Amino acid sequence: MRKRFTEQQIVGVLKASAAGTKTGELCRQYGISEPTFYKWKAKYSGMEVSDLKKLKALEEENRRLKQMVADLSLDNRALKDVLSKNF
């Protein structure tokens, strides 16, 4: 899935909305649908660009940690299988 808008642009759209620009007008101006606007609002409302950078870093760290847990669980299972066959 390709993204047309960066998080910074999305925050800018939401700030324009908070400043009083009507939703329909913003949607026409940026070429987005109203459901897209409301999805953005649900996900990014109240965030600044620096918050988004922190969020991305945390999401990446979370992804890496989940991968580590999955790898360790697989290793643990393999070791248990080997030990159960030896005795």
Q: What are the DSSP calls for 17-73, one per residue?
A: HHTT--HHHHHHHHT--HHHHHHHHHHHTT--HHHHHHHHHHHHHHHHHHHHHHHHH
pLDDT score for 32: 94
Q: How far is it, in rounded angstroms, from Cα 51 to Cα 13? A: 16
Contact in structure between 34 and 23 (CB atoms under 8 Å): yes
Which residue segment(s) compose the domain that 80 sits in? 49-87
pTM over 0.85: no
Reported confidence tier of residue 87, pLDDT bands at 50, 70, 90: low
- The reply to whether 14 and 37 lie within a common domain is yes
Q: What is the pLDDT of residues 23-82, one digit of tens each?
A: 999 999 999 999 999 999 998 888 888 888 898 899 999 999 999 999 999 999 999 998
- The reply to whether 1 and 43 lie within a common domain is yes
- The reply to whether 10 and 38 lie within a common domain is yes
Contact in structure between 48 and 11 (CB atoms under 8 Å): yes
- The reply to whether 14 and 31 lie within a common domain is yes
